[in-house]
Amino acid sequence: MSIKAVIMVISYIILAPFAGGLMEGLDRKISARMQGRIGPPVLQPFYDVRKLMNKQVVAIGVLQLALLLCYLTLMIFTGAIFFAGSDLLMCLFVLSTASTFMYFASVVTSSPYNTIASSRELIQIMTYEPAVLLAGVGFYLVDGTFSVAGIAASDTVMLTRTPGLFASFVLILLIKMRKSPFDVSTSHHAHQELVMGVKTEMGAQNLAIFTITEWYETTILMGIVGLFVVTSNPLSYVGAALLCAAVYFFLIIADNACARVKWTQMLQVTWLFTLFASGVNLLILMLIR
């Protein structure tokens, strides 16, 4: 591993939670403004995590903490693979494995609310995984490599060659980041019967670990979004930052403007759009290679 890769990994491990927390703070602030409220301070997510860390630990399930730590570790490992410029396909597989540990951390409590939310979480995983893997295949068909460093060093703007794959990936971000209309298993807003969902039986340090892990995941997902426009030109990183900001703002708007759909509708809409947009895009890429 090169010195640059080591620096990128260390920077990710240290800075990703701060970036993810700031994005969540901006999400809350912008959402509040859209609803005619002042909203909490942008740094409120950090205050919440600090408060959770100082709360008394109540063990709901003896294995929950261990599973959440595995979830956190795998998420950090996923980001390390990505920001080190290593294999994108391996990064996506580890990301999927991390989601599995989150499911186990939820269902291990045997709570009826968690059981319902966990079953919905499995449906969500089944819904978005095809689009995630197809995005990786699209990168390979354009540049002939799964290496993140190789993709970033090319002269091709991926977005111009993979608009369908990009649109599918942005759509499934609504599921991955648990935003309306696809916040089936967990909601950040009190507009459904399972507001906390998979987090219902998480408290104190366990909930803090879950929140920090989500911040790591948000940073990884925005990194993949940026990879669609990053090239060998240093100025492309500015374009990547602007694209990430635009996509995140779109997710906030969708979260506040859309009502939650049923899991069957989520599955139908996502798979139909993914099969059409990604499928046509992949077919064109294979024909022009």
Query: How many CA atoms lie within 13 Å of 102's alpha carbon, on the beta-carbon side?
Result: 31
Q: Give backbone dihedrals phi and psi of 253, rounded to 5 degrees, phi first.
A: -60, -45
The answer, as to whether pTM is greater than 0.85, is: yes
Collapsing DSSP to helix, strand or coil, 87 comes out as strand
Q: Give pLDDT, residue 187.
A: 63
> Using CA atoms, how far apart are residues 159 and 246, in angstroms rounded to an integer?
14
Helix %, strand %, coil % for the chain, to 5? 75, 0, 25
The predicted model gives 11-19 an average pLDDT of: 95
> Using CA atoms, how far apart are residues 117 and 285, in angstroms rounded to an integer?
38
Q: Are 165 and 278 within 8 A, CB to CB?
A: yes
Question: Does position 113 have pLDDT exceeding 80, yes or no?
Answer: no
Q: Give pLDDT, residue 171.
A: 93
pLDDT > 70 in the chain, percent: 93
> Using CA atoms, how far apart are residues 238 and 209, in angstroms rounded to an integer?
31
Among 93, 72, 74, 91, smallest CA distance to 82 is for 91
Length of the chain: 289
To the nearest whole number, what is the mean pLDDT of the chain?
87
The predicted model gives 234-238 an average pLDDT of: 93
Higher per-residue pLDDT: 203 or 259: 259
Lowest pLDDT segment from 20-29, 181-190, 199-208, 225-234: 181-190
Collapsing DSSP to helix, strand or coil, 234 comes out as coil
Higher per-residue pLDDT: 112 or 191: 112
Per the omega criterion (within 30 degrees of 0), is the bond before 40 cis?
A: no
The predicted model gives 128-157 an average pLDDT of: 89
153-199: per-residue pLDDT in tens?
A: 988 899 999 999 999 999 999 998 888 888 877 766 655 555 666 77
Q: Give pLDDT, residue 196.
A: 66
Q: Give pLDDT, residue 94.
A: 93
Q: Give pLDDT, residue 22.
A: 96
Query: For residue 112, what pLDDT band results from cuts at 50, 70 and 90?
Result: confident
> Using CA atoms, how far apart are residues 123 and 185, in angstroms rounded to an integer?
9
Query: For residue 12, what pLDDT band results from cuts at 50, 70 and 90?
Result: very high
35-94: per-residue pLDDT in tens?
A: 888 889 999 999 999 998 887 766 566 788 888 899 999 999 999 999 999 999 999 999
Q: Are 204 and 57 within 8 A, CB to CB?
A: yes
Collapsing DSSP to helix, strand or coil, 158 comes out as helix
Q: Give pLDDT, residue 60.
A: 60
The predicted model gives 5-23 an average pLDDT of: 93
